């Protein structure tokens, strides 16, 4: 006789409201502004009929708002389930049930250092009391969650997210973290790095004009800003030793002097900025600092950096205002006021309401809000500057920062939206090819700003731009027209 057994399922729901992504003329996009975990999620849930019906498991769980929950079922005793629970301070901690969720017991106060980033747990396949927790440093309990200690990080990267335990030998472990994949055969005393996996995450990539082979530079997630050759004369090919670190931290924008490829400007998170000398390996911190009278600077996690196309020693760098240096970053001067909306993000609605200061995970691991995220200068007209903010403003100066005007409520863009420069260079290349002699800056991937010369007319603009729809420009709401919001110095190109 064949017996059919439906599995028992245990889940913890994501408790942040997620809505379909759609544009409305009056939409307000604020999800980057603050982070709140709590949304009336009360407990895990279980199903004993393969998910056909579900029951909330509330007995012994915190009664107030709950944030992110991590769950692990013990392979040794399936009625034993562990949960790491983010809640208000006194209720956060590590919970266990030995009766499949009917009753929960708080075992201890351990919680990962950043629940929205970690919060995964893994039960040992051979020891019911052993559970591993992903965290900045790997954590393990051998007493069912009463106490936790570090597992071991010798010669291994931190920030752990994935874990595998050999079901027949729990000394054999595989770990995935921000630095890659590691394997241990001695229960984390030593780790073997898997260096043949091309899995580094690059935020930004650029190249220089080195000869005979250009160099490639990029900023990596949690693994520095780096550079290395695109080719080599070495018969063994490009080696790890050919690559070098330009600045530590999370890596972002890199800019290289167009005439001296040995001078490299590299970024780390929140506006860390350094000048790297490829000849000597020297790194000099050149981040601009506020004056005694200024408010603290608000740099984006990925701050905009620009070498002026008109002077290789002139740098522009964005916080909530724009700074300019004429001497490769040795000194700086502000050339703009605050170019953001200066919104208090704590007064913005998230999931339909304004959250109080004691909300679970209020603003935890959230980037600074109200700063610049894109920056460009006309390659043909010196001093024509464009800046985009993370709260939906585009600012334009035609006199090197002496005066600024703002473009607000751009058609088909979200109100307060992030002015992202991701497709800026691609779009500029397309338009420059079609419109020689025209200065172009793309403040976002859906809103080009086209600035004409005297001989450039609206008729020519319409005739050239319409064929470009489908080559990268999206159509606007009006059939046949390219993206709305195309402007010249003197009039709207698209009426």
Stretch 22-50: mean pLDDT, rounded? 48
Q: Where are the alpha helices (DSSP H) in 287-393?
A: none
- Report the residue count for the chain: 495
Tell whether the model's pLDDT for residue 231 goes beyond 90.
yes
Neighbours of 165 (CB within 10 A): 21
Q: Residue 253: inside a domain, yes or no? A: no
Across 31-51, b (16+ Cβ under 10 Å) vs e yields ebbbbbbbbebbbbbbbeeee
Confidence of residue 416 (pLDDT cuts 50, 70, 90): low
- Provide the pLDDT for residue 194: 95
If DSSP codes are grouped into helix, strand and coil, which group holds residue 478? coil
Record the tokens describing residue 413, joined without a space: 């863009």
Rg of the chain over CA atoms, in angstroms? 27
Pairing of β 160-165 and β 149-150: unpaired
As a whole-number percent, the residues of the chain with pLDDT over 70 amount to 75
Neighbours of 9 (CB within 10 A): 14
Q: Residue 189: inside a domain, yes or no? A: no
Give the DSSP H or E segment for 244.
strand 244-247
- Provide the pLDDT for residue 135: 97
Tell whether the model's pLDDT for residue 436 goes beyond 90.
no
Q: Residue 356: inside a domain, yes or no? A: no
Q: Residue 68: inside a domain, yes or no? A: yes
Question: How many domains is the chain partitioned into structurally?
Answer: 2
How far does Cα 464 stand from its chain's mean position? 36
Last residue of a domain, one of 133, 151, 169: 151
How far is Cα 427 from Cα 293, in angstroms, rounded to an integer? 40
Q: Residue 197: inside a domain, yes or no? A: no
Nearby residues of 228 by Cβ (< 8 Å), 6 or more positions away? 215, 216, 238, 242, 243, 244
pTM of the model: 0.78
- Tell me: the pLDDT tens digits for 317-351? 999 999 999 999 999 999 999 999 999 988 888 88
Q: Residue 414: inside a domain, yes or no? A: no
Nearby residues of 189 by Cβ (< 8 Å), 6 or more positions away? 152, 154
- Tell me: the pLDDT tens digits for 271-299? 999 999 999 999 999 999 998 888 899 99
Last residue of a domain, one of 151, 176, 195: 151
Confidence of residue 412 (pLDDT cuts 50, 70, 90): very low
Q: Residue 252: inside a domain, yes or no? A: no
Confidence of residue 454 (pLDDT cuts 50, 70, 90): very low
Neighbours of 66 (CB within 10 A): 27
Last residue of a domain, one of 131, 151, 171: 151
How far is Cα 473 from Cα 466, in angstroms, rounded to an integer? 9
| 72-76, 383-387, 422-426 — most confident range | 72-76
Say if CB 238 and CB 229 are below 8 A apart: yes
Nearest to 444 by CA among 464, 428, 465: 428
- Tell me: the pLDDT tens digits for 104-122? 999 999 999 999 899 999 9
| Domain containing residue 429 | 422-495
Q: Residue 80: inside a domain, yes or no? A: yes
């Amino acid at each position: 006789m064949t017996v059919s057994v439906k599995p028992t399922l245990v889940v913890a729901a994501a408790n942040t409201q997620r809505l379909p992504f759609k544009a409305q003329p009056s939409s307000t996009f604020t999800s980057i502004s603050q982070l709140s975990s709590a949304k009336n999620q009360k407990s895990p849930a279980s199903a004993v009929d393969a998910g056909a019906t579900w029951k909330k498991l509330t007995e012994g769980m915190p009664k107030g708002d709950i944030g992110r929950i991590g769950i692990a079922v013990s392979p040794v005793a399936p009625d034993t389930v562990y949960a790491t629970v983010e809640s208000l301070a006194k209720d956060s901690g590590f919970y266990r049930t030995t009766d499949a969720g009917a009753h929960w017991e708080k075992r201890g106060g351990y919680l990962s250092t950043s629940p929205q980033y970690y919060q995964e747990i893994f039960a040992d396949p051979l020891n019911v009391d052993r559970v591993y927790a992903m965290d900045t440093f790997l954590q393990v309990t051998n007493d069912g969650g009463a106490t936790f200690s570090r597992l071991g990080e010798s010669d291994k990267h931190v920030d752990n997210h994935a874990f595998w335990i050999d079901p027949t030998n729990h000394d054999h472990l595989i770990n995935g973290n921000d630095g890659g994949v590691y394997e241990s055969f001695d229960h984390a005393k030593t780790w073997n790095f898997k260096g043949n996996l091309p899995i580094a995450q690059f935020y930004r990539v650029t190249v220089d004009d080195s000869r005979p082979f250009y160099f490639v530079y990029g900023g990596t997630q949690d693994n520095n800003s780096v550079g290395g050759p695109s080719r080599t004369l070495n018969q063994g090919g490009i080696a790890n030793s050919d690559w070098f670190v330009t600045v530590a931290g999370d890596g972002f924008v890199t800019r290289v002097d167009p005439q001296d490829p040995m001078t490299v400007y590299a970024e780390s998170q929140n506006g860390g900025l350094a000048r790297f000398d490829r000849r000597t390996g020297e790194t000099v911190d050149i981040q601009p600092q506020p004056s005694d009278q200024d408010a603290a600077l608000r740099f984006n996690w990925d701050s905009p950096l620009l070498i002026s196309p008109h002077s290789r020693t002139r740098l522009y760098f964005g916080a909530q205002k724009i700074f300019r240096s004429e001497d490769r970053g040795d000194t700086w001067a502000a050339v703009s006021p605050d170019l953001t909306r200066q919104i208090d993000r704590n007064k913005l609605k998230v999931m339909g309401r304004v959250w109080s200061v004691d909300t679970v995970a209020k603003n935890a691991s959230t980037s600074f809000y109200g700063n610049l995220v894109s920056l460009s200068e006309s390659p043909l007209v010196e001093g024509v500057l464009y800046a985009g903010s993370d709260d939906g403003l585009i600012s334009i100066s035609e006199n090197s920062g002496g005066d600024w005007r703002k473009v607000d409520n751009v058609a088909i863009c979200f109100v307060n939206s992030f002015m992202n420069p991701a497709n800026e260079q691609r779009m500029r290349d397309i338009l420059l090819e079609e419109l020689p002699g025209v200065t172009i800056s793309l403040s976002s991937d859906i809103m080009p700003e086209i600035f004409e010369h005297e001989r450039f007319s609206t008729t020519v603009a319409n005739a050239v731009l319409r064929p470009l729809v489908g080559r990268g420009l999206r159509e606007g709401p009006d059939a046949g027209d390219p993206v709305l919001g195309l402007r010249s110095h003197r009039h709207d190109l698209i009426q």
